[in-house]
Amino acid sequence: MAHDERRRPVWVGVATFAVLIVAWFALTTWTSTIGPGRFPSPREAFDALRQIWVQGYADARLPVHALHSAKLVLLGFVAAVGLGVPLGLAMGWSRTCEAFANPTFLLLRPIPPLAWIPLAIVWLGLGDAAKVLVIWFAAFVPAVINSYSGVRSIEPHLVEAARTLGVSRRRMVTEVLIPGALPMIFGGLRLSLQACWTTLVAAELIGAIAGLGHVLYQASLDLFPAMIVVGMVAVAVTAALMTIALDIVERRAMPWRRA
Amino acid sequence: MKRHHWTFAAGIALALASAGALAQTVIKISYQPALYWSLPFYVANEKGWYAELGLKPEFSTFPAGVPQIAASASKSWDVGGAGSVPAVLGAVRYNLLTIGITNDESYANALLATGKTAAGFVKNPASIKGQTIVLTANSTGDYAVQSCLAKWGLKKADVTFKSMGQAEVISAMSSGNADLGGLWAPNTYTLEEKAGAKQICSGQDAGAAVPGALMVRADYAKSDPQNVARFLAVYLRSWKWLNAHKTEAIAMMKKFYAQGGVTISDAAMRKEFDTRPTFDLAQQLKIMHRPGANGASEVDGWFANIGAFMKANGTFADAPMPSKFITDEFLQMVDRDPKLKAFANRAD
Amino acid sequence: MAQGLTLRDPTAPLPFARWLALTVAGFLAFFAVWWAAAASGLAPPQFLPSPGAVAAQFVELTHTPFVGYTLQQHLASSFGRFALGFGLAAAIGIPLGLMMGWFRALDAIVTPLFDALRFVAPIAWVPFAALWFGTGIGGPVMVIFSGAFPPCVINAYRGARFVEPRFIEAAETLGASNWRMITEVLLPSAVPSIVAGLRVSAGLGWQSLVGAELIVASSGIGYLLVRGQANISTSIVMSGMIAIGLVGFAIDIALRLVERRINRQRGR
């Protein structure tokens, strides 16, 4: 049965988008079923895009906003991965470490990153540091959990075999632990990255001067639906690009999985 | 698509509600919690004045003017009060009409500085150049701040604005992460009393009139003009009463502010009354009166300035004509109806 | 089990007493660091209250109303919105995912759309949510929905796609209709995957709720946070954070129990 290896024909996807765009025109421009104050027409959305691309909106042009956001996400993400993955690996490897670190983790984990915003402002001010802290909280949890489960999912006899061969501690980590946990780690990184973007928009409510979240915030203060759409699309595209970049890194890091 | 369900459900709810409560019509009223001009809504409900005129209020509250205006698009409310800046935005985007003035809040919208920097800025306003000011964009606070800058001969480009909600402004200033901020009362008092900040310039100081607006959705005004007039009568009566019974008024204000999470001193509450003039029916009609066919009223002048400010901010390309969205039609209705007029002027 | 192999195997389960001691030490260490940071004057108590001050505030909030309601009432109002948004996401997402797993055409149509929308952060919907549904109940519910919906769809879809082919073949030879195929073959085999998805979905939904309430709401736990912030009361903010954490934790535990129970039943 072909049920399992079916492929989605590309043309259906293209057709879906075409139908949707036609419907968009039909509902807004041609029949104005949806009023301009509720959802923009394609024309308005295009004008808004041109405005932010050429003259700029919310104090900067679109690429500047996107780069600023990407920078914040990257900073928060790298900081979270840099701390989260080693912690997750350590907790996965050593029960002692797990038992000791788990309580803190349990206490902090369920608090949504956005709830840190008020504290981030009073602790770190209005600069990038506060935003990076909030983003860090978002990315940290998935990084730890997945690295932890990654280690736990390594086949025990692999570890045993390495041990009986008298492998050194360092080689155990670099040649057994990390490669074994890598697939799960990358799964976690993907979630982390997504969480970073989700949080970014809210983080940029903290007195940003640039950034896609700032564009969205400003557009919502101006009640400017066309610019809100542009902002949302920009967030989605930038996030998708970063995910693709992560995919490429993943493939490079695990050449053996290419098949 | 989904809208039909909503309106349908709302229709059923409305039908049930009106069947249940003897000939009382539901009116959906919006305001912002813990604000001076919101107090009459609360007081009138406590006193049962809406019911006296056959209205059954359903309140919805919003943390700021802009989401409130946005929610009018989904018909979340029929009438309400907000700052004049959101009111102009609502006029441009969603045909909201301004039908009365809640209060003159020129003094209550202000630029504040942290305790240690205030004296320096007051002595030498030019030193504000190059500073960062935290404020809520598109708000009356924003308007007051920019008016103050203009008074000192500074331009918007001379400073850096960072836009955020009032709660964030308070956090940023109280923790010393920002020295200058645009706020409105009672947030100004919170910051003065709990973080030692100082008000260094208000809209009043800068010669900018900052009114608060009573608004109605245009289609509601068309379908239920009577209810709009009754709503105004209740609001006017509340101010009459509040101004005539200061001690009780302060006590109710305290309760009302606490419900919004604001705890400021009695002195600050008294100051609210002392610095923010309100208008009774006759005064409202006077400031909204347009002399001649093309004449502009005093209120028209205030709103024209606000429109110009918002245009300069880039909020919209063309400021709306005040005569297009400000109307005293419903105040006139109250004035013409002896019963409503008497009701609006009662101070007991 | 690698237990008998070597005494120094760090992956071996710890004796209970040792585990307990370490866990308690972990808790103590957390609060000790917090307390020390507060007591050292690193940050003024206004911005970093001690654990004791926060605990006292938390207790006070449960019986003295703040911004009109007690802590429980705020939580109840938030939870109501959450339940509605999450329920809606599950009610629409799971059937959609299953059907996508069965009908090729639907899969081909929906998947690209879905992939495009997935990258839009739930919070980014806030401006439109306010515009379309207001900020009372509709707006926040829409934001929660946009956070909780994707995992419901994805996991139902995956569950349906990885049903053992022999089950499908068997059902096909018995001449099962599309409806019966989905409800009696796909759905039961997809249950573990769906429940796992619901857990993720509930977590994201609860987080989105807090975000929505921080920005536009006039009641609920996120609103409590904002008003606490506006009143320069960090201990209220922290109490709110703890309450949010506790409820999030409770939701996760509840769904974990459901998951375990289902897996156990199916294990037999």
Q: Domain locations in chain C?
A: 16-42, 60-267
Cβ of A8 within 8 Å of Cβ of C108? The answer is yes
The pLDDT assigned to C216 comes to 67
> Do residues B53 and B170 both lie within one domain?
no
pLDDT tier, C6 (very low <50, low <70, confident <90, very high otherwise): very low
CA gap B201, B212 in Å, rounded: 19
> Do residues B92 and B139 both lie within one domain?
no
Specify the CATH number of the domain A41-257: 1.10.3720.10
**Sequence-separated (6 or more) residues with CB below 8 Å from residue C166:** none
CA gap A13, A168 in Å, rounded: 52
Q: Is residue B186 part of a domain?
A: yes
Identify the three-state secondary structure at position C69.
strand
Chain C residues with CB under 8 Å of A2 CB are none
Cβ of C67 within 8 Å of Cβ of B170? The answer is no
> Do residues B75 and B191 both lie within one domain?
no
Mean of pLDDT values over B85-101: 95
The pLDDT assigned to C50 comes to 92
Q: From the list C47, C210, C237, which residue is nearest A114 (CB)? A: C210
Identify from C88, C224, C232 which residue to disrupt to test chain B contact, counting B C-beta atoms within 10 A and taking the largest count: C232
Domain containing residue B54: CATH number:
3.40.190.10
Chain segment C227-247, per-residue pLDDT in tens:
898 888 999 999 999 999 999
The pLDDT assigned to C5 comes to 38
H, E, C per residue of chain B: CHHHHHHHHHHHHHHHHHHHCCCCEEEEEEECCCCHHHHHHHHHHHHCHHHHCCEEEEEEECCCHHHHHHHHCCCCCCEEEEEHHHHHHHHHHHCEEEEEEEEECCCCEEEEECHHHHHHHHHCHHHHCCCEEEECCCCHHHHHHHHHHHHCCCCHHHCEEEECCHHHHHHHHHCCCCCEEEEECCHHHHHHHHHCCEEEEECCCCCCCCEEEEEEEHHHHHHCHHHHHHHHHHHHHHHHHHHHCHHHHHHHHHHHHHHCCCCCCHHHHHHHHHHCCCCCHHHHHHHHCCCCCCCCCHHHHHHHHHHHHHHHHCCCCCCCCHHHHECCHHHHHHHHCHHHHHHHCCCC
> Do residues B153 and B174 both lie within one domain?
yes
Q: Is C46 on the interface with B (CB under 8 A)?
A: yes
Cis peptide before C122 (omega within 30 of 0): no
CA gap B97, A229 in Å, rounded: 27
> Do residues B116 and B129 both lie within one domain?
yes
Q: Please tell me which of A24-28, A115-119, B63-67, C52-56 the model is most confident about, judged by mean pLDDT.
A: C52-56
Only one residue has tokens 């700032």, namely A214
pLDDT tier, C44 (very low <50, low <70, confident <90, very high otherwise): confident
Chain A's closest residue to B3, CA to CA, is: A34
Is the pLDDT reported for residue B11 higher than 90?
A: no
The pLDDT assigned to A107 comes to 82
Q: Please identify among residues 61-80 of chain B the ones whose CB lies closer than 8 Å to any CB of chain A.
A: 66, 69-70, 73
The pLDDT assigned to B129 comes to 94
Q: Pairing mode, if any, of strands B132-135 and B180-184?
A: parallel
Total count of domains within chain B? 2
> Do residues B88 and B183 both lie within one domain?
no
Mean of pLDDT values over C102-110: 86
Assess contact for B217 and B27: CB atoms under 8 A: no
Is the pLDDT reported for residue B19 higher than 80?
A: no
pLDDT tier, B20 (very low <50, low <70, confident <90, very high otherwise): very low
% of chain C surpassing 90 pLDDT: 35
Q: What are the DSSP E strand ranges found in chain B?
A: 25-31, 55-61, 79-83, 96-104, 109-113, 132-135, 160-163, 180-184, 198-202, 211-217
List subunits contacting chain C, requiring 3 or more Cβ pairs under 8 Å: A, B
Per-position pLDDT tens, chain A of length 259: 334 445 566 787 788 888 888 988 888 888 877 777 788 999 999 999 999 999 888 888 999 999 999 999 999 999 999 999 999 999 988 889 989 998 888 888 888 888 898 899 888 888 889 999 999 998 998 899 889 888 888 888 888 888 888 888 888 888 888 888 888 888 888 888 888 888 887 788 676 778 998 898 888 888 889 999 999 999 888 888 888 898 898 888 887 765 4
The pLDDT assigned to C138 comes to 82
Assess contact for C98 and C197: CB atoms under 8 A: no
For residue B239, what are its two tokens?
């101010």
Phi then psi for B82, rounded to 5 degrees?
-160, 175
Assess contact for B329 and B99: CB atoms under 8 A: yes
The pLDDT assigned to A8 comes to 60
The pLDDT assigned to A203 comes to 83
Assess contact for A123 and B172: CB atoms under 8 A: no
Chain C residues with CB under 8 Å of B71 CB are 130-131, 134-136, 139
Q: Please identify among residues 68-87 of chain A the ones whose CB lies closer than 8 Å to any CB of chain C.
A: none
CA gap B331, B229 in Å, rounded: 7
Q: Is residue B117 part of a domain?
A: yes
Closest CA to C156 of C192, C127, C128: C192
Q: A68 to each of A73, A74, B166, C181, how far by Cα in Å?
A: 9, 10, 24, 50
- CA A125 distance to own-chain centroid: 24
Q: From the list A93, A103, A220, which residue is nearest C30 (CB)? A: A103
Q: What is the predicted ipTM?
A: 0.81
Identify the three-state secondary structure at position A155.
coil
Q: Is residue B234 part of a domain?
A: yes
Chain A residues with CB under 8 Å of C25 CB are 100
Q: Please identify among residues 205-244 of chain B the ones whose CB lies closer than 8 Å to any CB of chain A.
A: none
CA gap B53, B11 in Å, rounded: 22
> Do residues B123 and B269 both lie within one domain?
no
Q: Which of B142, B168, B202 is the last residue of a domain?
A: B202
Min CA distance, B73 vs chain A (Å)?
7
Residue-number span of the structural domain to which B261 is assigned? 23-104+211-344
Chain A residues with CB under 8 Å of C128 CB are 39, 225, 228
CA gap B109, B188 in Å, rounded: 8
Q: Is residue B18 part of a domain?
A: no
The third-level CATH classification (topology) of the domain covering C60-267 is: MetI-like fold (1.10.3720)
Identify the three-state secondary structure at position A39.
coil
% of chain B surpassing 70 pLDDT: 93
Could you tell me which residue, C107 or B44, shows the higher pLDDT? B44
Judged by phi (left if over 0) then psi (alpha if -120 to 50, else beta), residue B292 lies in: left
Q: Please identify among residues 191-230 of chain C the ones whose CB lies closer than 8 Å to any CB of chain B.
A: 215-218, 223-224, 226-230
Chain segment C117-148, per-residue pLDDT in tens:
877 888 888 888 878 887 677 888 999 999 99
Residue B131: how many CB atoms within 10 A of its CB? 16
Q: Please identify among residues 96-135 of chain A the ones whose CB lies closer than 8 Å to any CB of chain C.
A: 96-97, 99-104, 106-119, 122-123
Mean of pLDDT values over B127-131: 95
Q: Domain locations in chain A?
A: 41-257
Identify from C57, C227, C233, C238 which residue to disrupt to test chain B contact, counting B C-beta atoms within 10 A and taking the largest count: C227
Cβ of A218 within 8 Å of Cβ of B163? The answer is yes
Only one residue has tokens 């301009």, namely A36
Chain B's closest residue to C139, CA to CA, is: B71
Q: Is residue B10 part of a domain?
A: no
Could you tell me which residue, B342 or A28, shows the higher pLDDT? B342
Assess contact for A95 and A203: CB atoms under 8 A: no
CA gap B139, B66 in Å, rounded: 8
Mean of pLDDT values over C205-220: 81
Q: Is residue B5 part of a domain?
A: no
Identify the three-state secondary structure at position B98.
strand
Is the pLDDT reported for residue B1 higher than 70?
A: no
**Sequence-separated (6 or more) residues with CB below 8 Å from residue A235:** A69, A197, A200, A201, A212, A213, A216, C119, C120, C121, C124
Chain segment A199-213, per-residue pLDDT in tens:
887 788 676 778 998
> Do residues B148 and B244 both lie within one domain?
no
Cβ of A112 within 8 Å of Cβ of C248? The answer is yes
**Sequence-separated (6 or more) residues with CB below 8 Å from residue C44:** none
Q: Is residue B287 part of a domain?
A: yes
- CA C20 distance to own-chain centroid: 28
CA end-to-end span of chain A = 23
> Do residues B96 and B227 both lie within one domain?
yes
Q: From the list C14, C112, C120, which residue is nearest A95 (CB)? A: C14
Mean of pLDDT values over B63-79: 88
Is the pLDDT reported for residue B18 higher than 70?
A: no
Closest CA to C214 of B167, A215, B127: B167
Q: Is residue B148 part of a domain?
A: yes
Assess contact for B40 and B49: CB atoms under 8 A: no
Chain B residues with CB under 8 Å of C133 CB are 6, 74
Is the pLDDT reported for residue B53 higher than 80?
A: yes
Q: Is C232 on the interface with A (CB under 8 A)?
A: no
Assess contact for C130 and B66: CB atoms under 8 A: no
Is the pLDDT reported for residue B21 higher than 60?
A: no
CA gap B87, A108 in Å, rounded: 42
- CA C3 distance to own-chain centroid: 35
- The CA R_g of chain A, rounded to the nearest whole Å, is 23
The pLDDT assigned to B183 comes to 96
CA gap B54, B46 in Å, rounded: 15
Q: A109 to each of A94, A185, C7, how far by Cα in Å?
A: 20, 18, 33
Q: Is C106 on the interface with A (CB under 8 A)?
A: no
Amino acid residing at A204: E
pLDDT tier, C267 (very low <50, low <70, confident <90, very high otherwise): low
